[in-house]
Structure 1
Amino acid sequence: MPVRTTAGMRAFRVTLAGTLVSALGAGLTLPYLFVYLHDVLGAPLVVAGVVVAAGSVLGLASSAVGGPVGDRIGLGRLAGAGLVAQGAGTGLLAAAASPWLAAAGVALNLIGNSAVWPALNGLVAEQVPLERRSRAYATRFGLLNAGIGAGGLLSGWLVSIERPASFHLVYGIDAGTTGLFALLVLIGLRRAPGYRPGERHREAGGTGGYRAVLRDRAFVGYLLVALALGVFGYAQLNGPWASFVTGSAGGSTQVVGFAFAANTAAIVLVQLTVERVTRRVRRSRLLAATALVWALGWVLTGLAALPGLHGVLAGIGFVLALAVFGVGETFYSPVGGGVPNALAPPHLRARYNALASATWPLGGFIGPPLAGALLGGGAPLAWVVVIVAGLVGTAAAALLLGRRLPAQVERPPA
């Protein structure tokens, strides 16, 4: 094995270790941001949606800045700085006594996250050879969800609306694990491929910029599909879903914790199998499958909330819904990191990853206010109908994208 490949795989293992550590802390808090803002700090649901949306705008702006910065200083340095900001924002959430201080924490957290996610995706592409990337992205996503699942299961026992201090505790733990990941990146990866700009970046001389990226029509089409998945998928999962279950559907925080544990258990159990079976499947079809399976998860959520179901049966329905959503995520994980990095030239890798990752804060800007309006409008099941329709449309758009992707991207190498 070449020296660069050996060093890259060693760095990839460090990246996996940091991912697992930080995911344990993130799993403690992931389902509860809307609940924390609304039920503990007293913010109305619409205000909670606006807080998350405003933080997403700042995250989106910092993502646009982070692309050129990452191409100039190196992806590893960008990831380390982002983790420091993310940990500081989570620390503010842990100390928050009002919605306004929490809003500052949300903003700082999302600014940091907008740098971390694209930088780590780009780092994996630098660390791992092309023919191994699909499995590398799937492995990292599986470990990420293993940590989140363990944290989510624990949070079901630790967190209670009747004990506001429990929310401060879990956000404090989350801040600590994020800080540990920052140390692993800043110290453990400082000599690894991608930490600093490589020779290929210097040879390119910084040419191109975002204009060159946006002239890539295949990539722009991918961005639109990814944005729709963000609006109708993850933006609804990370907050509105838990608010729907604990609010109009009458569920408990324990049900939410178990559901997120089931979500991540499904990912951990089937992720590598799905990656192996679908390795030669067209990338556009995997995107369409993601949207349709997520739509099924939201349909199950709506069915579990019907008046005829209650108690244990409703709880089982909610848990099953997020398990199904997790299966959909396993179709997306090899594509979400793989397609942007397969399309990106090395000297623009950070910009490609920044724009790809910017679809999530942009989805977070659109999705939570939409959810807040639907959930607070007197007919909360309308939220399910709108989200399912959006995902069906996204699946159709993904199939159209397959006509634009280059053959070597649409059908990755064995």
Structure 2
Amino acid sequence: MTREMGAALRRIQLGSALSAFGLGFTVPYLYVYVAQVRDLGAGTAGVVLAVFAMAALAVLPFTGRAIDRRGPLPVLVVASAVATLGAAALGLSSGVTASVLSAAVLGAGTAVMQPALATMLVWCSSTATRTRAFAMQFFLQNLGLGIGGLVGGQIVDTNRPETFTLLFLIEAAMFVVLGVIASTVRLTRTPSFSDARPTDGTKAPGGLRALLSHRAMVQLCVLGFVLFFACYGQFESGLAAYGTEAAGMQPSTLGIALAANTAVIVVAQFVVLRFVERRRRSRVIASVGLIWAFAWIVAGYAGLGHGSQTMATAAMISTYALFGLGESMLSPTVAPLVADLAPESMVGQYNSAFALCKQLALAVGPAVGGPMGATLHGPYIVTFVLFSLGITALALRLGRRLTPAQDRPSLETVPSRVVAVSLPDAEAGSASASTAAAAR
């Protein structure tokens, strides 16, 4: 990595962490703000949260091509400006229409940031450094979210709406900082990714049809959906409902469980990284499925066992901690794999497609898990134990479609990539026989 790449990478990581810090100020309190502080009711709060999530589904299908045509920098700057507007407007909104529209703008802006930041990390890293770059981003984002949530909790007062307005204005300011930092980044060509940068007047080839013909990427998207559905899609809905209804946890204890999840990620990330970066990515993801299956079994003991309330609470906190361990293994594994599967001119589209699958899982997960976790306690646990084991099966199946360098980047001795092995299957037929065999 050159000195210029390192400087750009540090700025991107700083901006990403500060934007996560801003999100941490408001996300945990959005429901309370709309339903209680603005006195718009639980129904409106639910609509606001749904619109916040659904806005991402509306913009992500168009984000990838914009990134590949214009580059991630201008897309990120525009997204940060949109998110700034949405955060500030939401903090000042007192009516239903204004709150819903503001949530849509904020959700769209924050959704576009994800693939733009991911593509920038790809541009600023080589195959050898990409795993650590994504691990560092995940670590800093979780640290920012955790600190933001803690600081925000000391500011908010449900009897004083202006304290919530202050939170949203701080969030808006963090998005402004992200945009300013992004605008100062200078991305130089790298020998490992020289063709990724768009040039004036060129159109990114491929598109949805090419992506769907790439079987390894399709399998990774399916795997990503199951990953986020079985974990993140349950944190604030199904698992929280199960913990309070079946395990008898106090609502305040959920905050401790989420803190345990974040603490494990922060503490374990770089310890786990040493274990992960020299092993096959498919095997690492498969092991996450086993860890999460065990986590769901522990949750089953908490709600369906006959232990004391103290033991049930400890088991639920352990469940969240085990999820955090799995998350710390995924962060340096899945996102770099998306980049290594992408043809050079479609990195933005691949990142956006994967982000779309993630967002779909986050939208469907609470809708399915919430009612099950609250009422169907036994079937809920069994369902997600099976989903977790499905992660293991899907990961092992994906591993058979990856080249040795894609599955285990530490095997590469040369910091360049063979683009042909990452081409969608429909185009791979024109490659040499040996390359096609390696791609399979």
Report the TM-score when normalising by structure 2.
0.80
Aligned to 1:202, the other structure's residue is in SS state coil
Change (3 A) 1:171 1:318: farther
Matches within 5 A, 1:388-407: 388-407=385-404
Does 1:364 find its partner at 2:362?
Answer: yes
Matched with 2:434 is: none
Aligned to 1:280, the other structure's residue is in SS state coil
Check the 8 A contact 2:16/2:141 in 1, yes or no. yes
CA distance in structure 1 between the aligned counterparts of 2:89 and 2:382, rounded to whole angstroms:
36
Matched with 2:371 is: 373
Gaps of 5+ in 1: none
Check the 8 A contact 1:49/1:372 in 2, yes or no. no
CA distance in structure 1 between the aligned counterparts of 2:152 and 2:95, rounded to whole angstroms:
22
Query: Which one is further off, 394-403 or 341-350?
Result: 394-403
Deviation at residue 325 of structure 1 after TM alignment:
1.2
CA distance in structure 1 between the aligned counterparts of 2:155 and 2:238, rounded to whole angstroms:
21
CA distance in structure 1 between the aligned counterparts of 2:240 and 2:156, rounded to whole angstroms:
13
CA distance in structure 1 between the aligned counterparts of 2:242 and 2:91, rounded to whole angstroms:
24
Deviation at residue 30 of structure 1 after TM alignment:
3.7
Change (3 A) 1:96 1:307: farther
Check the 8 A contact 2:70/2:198 in 1, yes or no. no
Aligned to 2:396, the other structure's residue is in SS state helix
Aligned length: 405
Matched with 1:7 is: 4
Does 1:192 find its partner at 2:187?
Answer: yes
Does 1:173 find its partner at 2:136?
Answer: no
- Indicate the structure (1 or 2) with the bigger Cα radius of gyration: 2
CA distance in structure 2 between the aligned counterparts of 1:96 and 1:371, rounded to whole angstroms:
30
Residue among 264, 267, 288 paired with 1:266: 264
Residue among 311, 323, 326 paired with 2:324: 326
Does 1:220 find its partner at 2:218?
Answer: yes
Change (3 A) 1:307 1:205: closer
Change (3 A) 1:296 1:174: farther
Matched with 1:147 is: 144
Does 1:26 find its partner at 2:23?
Answer: yes
Letter in 2 for 1:57: M
Does 1:108 find its partner at 2:129?
Answer: no
CA distance in structure 1 between the aligned counterparts of 2:154 and 2:311, rounded to whole angstroms:
20
Check the 8 A contact 2:69/2:203 in 1, yes or no. no
Deviation at residue 412 of structure 1 after TM alignment:
1.4
| CA deviation string 1:334-386 (max 9, x = no partner) | 1221011101122111111110111121112211221343356x446654443
Query: Which one is further off, 242-251 or 80-89?
Result: 242-251
If asked which structure has higher relative contact order (CA below 8 Å, sep 6+), I would say 1
Deviation at residue 219 of structure 1 after TM alignment:
0.6
Aligned to 1:287, the other structure's residue is in SS state helix
Query: Which one is further off, 6-15 or 382-391?
Result: 382-391
CA distance in structure 2 between the aligned counterparts of 1:314 and 1:174, rounded to whole angstroms:
36
Check the 8 A contact 1:52/1:368 in 2, yes or no. no
Matched with 1:64 is: 61
Matched with 2:74 is: 77
Change (3 A) 1:32 1:302: farther
Gaps of 5+ in 2: 412-440
CA distance in structure 1 between the aligned counterparts of 2:124 and 2:80, rounded to whole angstroms:
19
CA RMSD of aligned residues (A): 3.3
Letter in 2 for 1:369: A
CA distance in structure 1 between the aligned counterparts of 2:299 and 2:30, rounded to whole angstroms:
19
CA distance in structure 1 between the aligned counterparts of 2:125 and 2:97, rounded to whole angstroms:
42
Change (3 A) 1:198 1:409: closer
CA distance in structure 2 between the aligned counterparts of 1:33 and 1:290, rounded to whole angstroms:
31
Aligned to 1:192, the other structure's residue is in SS state coil
Matches within 5 A, 1:295-310: 295-305=293-303
Residue among 289, 292, 300 paired with 1:291: 289
Residue among 333, 336, 354 paired with 1:335: 333
Change (3 A) 1:351 1:102: same
Deviation at residue 163 of structure 1 after TM alignment:
7.1
